[in-house]
Amino acid sequence: MSEDEFKKFHTELGFAMKLLKHQSEDADEMIVQTGHKKISSETAYFLNAAMKLNLEFEEEAGGVDMCKAMEKRDQRQKITGAIDVLRLDGVSDEDIITKVTKLYNVTKEYVLALLAPKQA
């Protein structure tokens, strides 16, 4: 499909098809540029799975805010990286929880959920 043909769709289908066509490019930037910051939860879950965006969603009235989902994913990646570095430095899980909750202003439960896969 040409870029002009995507404009024929006046629903989220055109947006989803365009993202899928250009998925080798920066999907985050495309989402921001197209102005589709809030989309239906069904479309968000479909794109997340089909494009392996690894996003975390908070469903709100009117759908999912894709920009917030990208920010949450980016924060999770930063926190996971910090946890990995602290573990390499030999920091105990208890101290990691204390440091990460203060540094990133997240809950103990959130940090525990990120630690859990490493403890298995």
Domain ranges of the chain: 3-66, 73-119
Exposure string over 13-40, b if 16+ CB within 10 A, otherwise e = ebbbebbeeeeeeebbeebeeeebeebe
The Cα 21–Cα 14 span in angstroms is 10
- Each residue's pLDDT tens digit in the chain (120 positions)? 666 676 667 677 777 877 787 776 677 777 777 666 788 888 888 988 988 888 888 888 888 888 888 888 999 999 999 999 999 999 999 999 999 999 999 999 999 999 986 554
What does the H/E/C string look like for 30-41? Answer: HHHHHCCCEECH
The Cα 100–Cα 106 span in angstroms is 7
Q: What pTM was computed for the model?
A: 0.72
